[in-house]
Copies of this chain bind each other. A is one copy, B any other.
Amino acid sequence: MNQTQPPPLQIGMLLYPDFTLLDLTGPQGVLGLHGKTHLLWKTLDAVSTDTGISLNPTTTFGDCPDDLDILFVPGGFGTPQAMEDPEILRFLANRAARARYVTSVCSGSLLLGAAGLLRGYKSTSHWAVHELLPMFGAEAVQARVVVDRNRISGGGVTAGIDFGLVLLAQLLGEDAAKSTQLMLEYDPQPPFDSGTPKTAEPRIVKQVLDFLEPLNQQMLRGAQAALRATST
């Protein structure tokens, strides 16, 4: 096996209506250079995202390879509905049982939780829904990227880039991650210090919490529904 290239990574990324496009394209921009990306959905029909762009699935749940290197779940405004969809949850549980890494960004971790995949694992999520993770038996950790055995999760949206680089280093080594970071010119310079509730001005935090309040209520109801479905 010396002097041969490793086979390209098999990367399975879940789509669902009204997921957040950047949750997925951050990690895909990092990992997609090193493997084959399967965009997974029930059918091959275009799937809407939550800022008005659609993405085309490449692979149906039925055609998804049995053994993925990475099973990835994005978050988004559509997460609550997805948590109540048994077909999605069954598919995730099935492939996660065989995948090398079971991963998420943003509220995608709630979907992994709803599928029963975070019991006894440390995980993170978007800061605004962090507190829901323990409902699924997960230990909520406030960090940009959380690694616990083969479960790796990123925080909200843009954390997906940091997440992707951490995962790539685990899969292909630090040099691959460093050269990819250079290729993507990931030398961030946020124009404001407003990326977490710890540093943002209180009135900005309040503004975002007010905006997200209805969504967070939906997230809670979705989580409760998923737990009821499991217990019956």
Contact = CB atoms under 8 A, between A and B. Distances in A.
Contacts of A182: 194-197, 200, 204-205, 208
B192 A177 contact: yes
How many identical chains are in the complex?
2
Interface size class on chain A is 35 or more
Contact of A195 (B26, B29, B188, B201): B188
Interface stretch (A47-55, A60-68, A220-228): A47-55
A144 B185 CA distance: 9
A189 interface: yes
A116 to B, nearest CB: 26
A78 B211 CA distance: 38
Contacts of A88: none
Interface string A11-44: 0000000001110011011001100110100000
Given A22-B25, A181-B195, A182-B208, A187 B144 contact: yes
A50 B188 CA distance: 22
Interface stretch (A79-87, A92-100, A131-139, A155-163): A155-163
A192 B207 CA distance: 33
B33 A22 contact: no
Contact of A37 (B53, B195, B197): B53
Interface of A: 20-22, 25-26, 28-29, 32-33, 36-37, 39, 46, 51-56, 58, 106, 126-127, 144-145, 155-159, 161-162, 165-166, 169, 174-175, 177-179, 181-192, 194-197, 199-201, 204-205, 207-208, 211-212
28 contacts: A20-B29, A21-B25, A25-B25, A37-B52, A53-B55, A55-B56, A56-B56, A144-B188, A155-B185, A157-B185, A157-B186, A158-B161, A158-B184, A161-B188, A162-B188, A175-B204, A177-B192, A178-B192, A179-B207, A181-B191, A181-B200, A182-B196, A182-B205, A182-B208, A186-B195, A187-B196, A187-B199, A188-B195
